[in-house]
Structure 1
Amino acid sequence: MTGAGRRLRFGLSLTPDASRPLLRIAQDADRYGLDLLGVGDQPYRRGTADAPALMATVLAATSRIRVLPAVACLPLRPPAALAKAVATMDRTSGGRVLLGLGAGGHWDGIESYGGARLSATAARRALEEAVQVIRLHWSDQQGLRFQGEHYRFAAGQSGPAPGNQIPIWLGVTGPHGLALAGRVADGWIAPSSLVPPKRLADGRRRLDEAAAAAGRDPAEIRRVYVLEGAIDGRGARGFLHGPPRQWVYELTELAVGHGVDAFLYAGDPDQLGPFALEIVPAVREKVAQERTATAAPAHP
């Protein structure tokens, strides 16, 4: 199901702060029926757990939730090695893995951890090459070779191939990054702090235009919105800062008015219960009502 009728997905964006009970939080998200768990990947930050290791642990300790790096720090994750790790997790979890990729942004931290500092243009080109390398690694081709500006890859054979087609979602915000996502990605991840609602329409337009120019159906690209806010019963204090009823209204507008079809809650994990058990079902119900009303034929 695609486009306006696509089933909404909801999940948690988890900061891998090693001082918190990360596995229990992930198991709560699974138990509450959430669809997705996005794991932050900033290995240069002190006190953070390794994202791929945490993903593998979560997949072994849960039964249904799908897990992805949101987003993998590409300058510190060689794409061929990342492809092998993600394919391995896909095969051992029964197909519960997705891949979120980012070009990198916190260059001081990346450089301090041994990564190369890149310009915005070079980082974007490296991201495009990484998508090519990863998909090549997941293919059934023999005698693999890739010679790019940033990555070189040669192997007698691919693999291990994932058991399922793994979607690649790109965390990009600028016009050139959106054009790249429209050309090659299966999804677009947008954080609310960098892409507020007033910027979503422009981002959606750029994504759709790039997809159409590449001969793709724009409706096939997931629109994933990271909800950087706070659930607070004291009253509305701005976008995504207020009581559950405000969240229900705003997420419904994001889905119906802006085409967002997946949400990752990035607020306090202690408020995961209200998000998953109160806000999510209410949004699903209101969006279904809005879609039905829009699709209903007008009476003469």
Structure 2
Amino acid sequence: MGLQARPLFSFPANIPVGQDAARTELVRTAEASGFDLFSLQDHPYNAGLIEAYAGTAFLLGATTTIGGYVGVTNLPLRPAPMLARTAAALTAQSDGRFALGLGSGGFWQHIPRMGVRQLTPKQAVDAFEEAIEVVRGLTGGPAAAMDFTGKHYQVGHLAPATVPTPPIWTGAGGPRTLAITGRLTDGWIPQQGADWLTPAYRDGRARIDDAARAAGRDPADIITIFNFGGALTDRDLPSTRSDDGRWVGGSARQWVDALTSAVLEHGAGGFNTGITDASGALGTDLIRRFGAEVIAPVRASVA
């Protein structure tokens, strides 16, 4: 249904390098099963993961309707002006099936190994905010050429790409990045496992909404896409959550009830669901089953 579907259904396609045909088959199966998106992690210091932007480009080229995003872009490793050009190219070549996930960089024990200087937390957030401005300024043309002089990025009279700015979703977690999300972006992907019943979501969403209103925006224009995983079992589980409240999965009925409630009662706009079977495996049969037994009934329930 594309990036405009509500709720969006996504799945992480982080299949290890060397299993590339299997990754492509999973994404194509997801496309045929009602998923709207796939996501890839951006951790290029991990040799076991496919490079996120090359992988996203390949998978968008191997499909026709499913969208893709990097969840989320490791911004310190991707200079914002070049990232804007990459985002524009993916948007154009996929006919608008690309969303731009952005993060300020959360793995500083590894990031400098790629040859970039370490930033303080404040510097990383400053660069994050500048990057959003740069991406918006270099997409969505035709418009005047952009001149920008920031602490971290400089742009010297560059014309914007004449394609729409892709939706910008953030992996914000701290107070400043949450406020930036509310002022400047289109969506929020809470930290892994922080679903609609957690304080992390409630507190974070309140900060986003306050910042959006202060900027004259409608908070409803900022989608929340929950990033979590769980097993799709054959029978009901005694409890769908662990002792600490984390979602662990359940039967198709339990998934449908939970996701429908998340949409209707908690404002969920999408789900990036790391689904497995009871043994922890993911395959094409499970993708098909999730599409038929969970996605379709949830869509019908919230229509």
CA displacement at 1:279 relative to structure 2: 0.8
Residue 83, structure 1, aligned to residue 84, structure 2: yes
Give the TM-score normalised by structure 2: 0.86
Q: What is the aligned partner in structure 2 of residue 14 from structure 1?
A: 13
Flag the structure with higher helix content: 1
Q: Is 1:13–1:226's contact at 8 Å kept on the other side of the alignment?
A: no
Partners of 2:251 and 2:120 in 1: CA distance = 41
Q: What is the aligned partner in structure 2 of residue 171 from structure 1?
A: 171
Q: Aligned to 2:275, which of 255, 262, 267?
A: 267
Q: Is 1:228–1:266's contact at 8 Å kept on the other side of the alignment?
A: yes
Q: Is 2:7–2:269's contact at 8 Å kept on the other side of the alignment?
A: yes
Q: Is 1:16–1:40's contact at 8 Å kept on the other side of the alignment?
A: no
Partners of 2:217 and 2:209 in 1: CA distance = 9
3-state secondary structure, aligned to 1:140: coil
The 4+ residue runs of structure 1 with deviation greater than 4 A are none
3-state secondary structure, aligned to 1:267: strand
Residue type of the partner of 2:300? E
Q: What is the aligned partner in structure 2 of residue 64 from structure 1?
A: 65
Partners of 2:197 and 2:117 in 1: CA distance = 33
Aligned residues: 281
271-280 vs 196-205, greater mean Cα deviation: 196-205
CA displacement at 1:188 relative to structure 2: 0.7
Q: Is 1:201–1:258's contact at 8 Å kept on the other side of the alignment?
A: no
Partners of 1:71 and 1:16 in 2: CA distance = 16
Unaligned residue ranges in structure 1 (runs of 5+): 1-5, 289-300
CA displacement at 1:192 relative to structure 2: 4.1
Q: What is the aligned partner in structure 2 of residue 295 from structure 1?
A: none
Residue 278, structure 1, aligned to residue 293, structure 2: yes
3-state secondary structure, aligned to 1:197: coil
**1:184-240 alpha-carbon deviations (Å, 9 max, x no partner):** 011111134245622222222211111000100111111111122222336245223
Unaligned residue ranges in structure 2 (runs of 5+): 242-246, 277-281
Residues 193/274 of structure 1: CA separation in 2 closer, same or farther (3 Å cut): same
Give the TM-score normalised by structure 1: 0.87
Residue type of the partner of 2:267? G
Q: What is the aligned partner in structure 2 of residue 145 from structure 1?
A: 147
Residue type of the partner of 2:10? G
Residue type of the partner of 1:267? I
Map of 1:190-201 to 2, 5 A cutoff? 190-194=190-194, 197-199=197-199, 200-201=201-202
CA displacement at 1:281 relative to structure 2: 1.4
Residue 248, structure 1, aligned to residue 248, structure 2: no
Partners of 2:43 and 2:191 in 1: CA distance = 16
Q: What is the aligned partner in structure 2 of residue 27 from structure 1?
A: 28
Q: Is 1:240–1:246's contact at 8 Å kept on the other side of the alignment?
A: no
**1:35-74 alpha-carbon deviations (Å, 9 max, x no partner):** 1122211111121111111111111111101111111110
Query: What is the RMSD computed on CA atoms of the aligned residues?
Result: 1.9
Partners of 1:165 and 1:82 in 2: CA distance = 12
Q: Is 1:231–1:240's contact at 8 Å kept on the other side of the alignment?
A: no
Partners of 1:250 and 1:232 in 2: CA distance = 14
Q: Is 1:227–1:240's contact at 8 Å kept on the other side of the alignment?
A: no
Residue type of the partner of 2:149? Q
CA displacement at 1:159 relative to structure 2: 3.8
240-249 vs 99-108, greater mean Cα deviation: 240-249
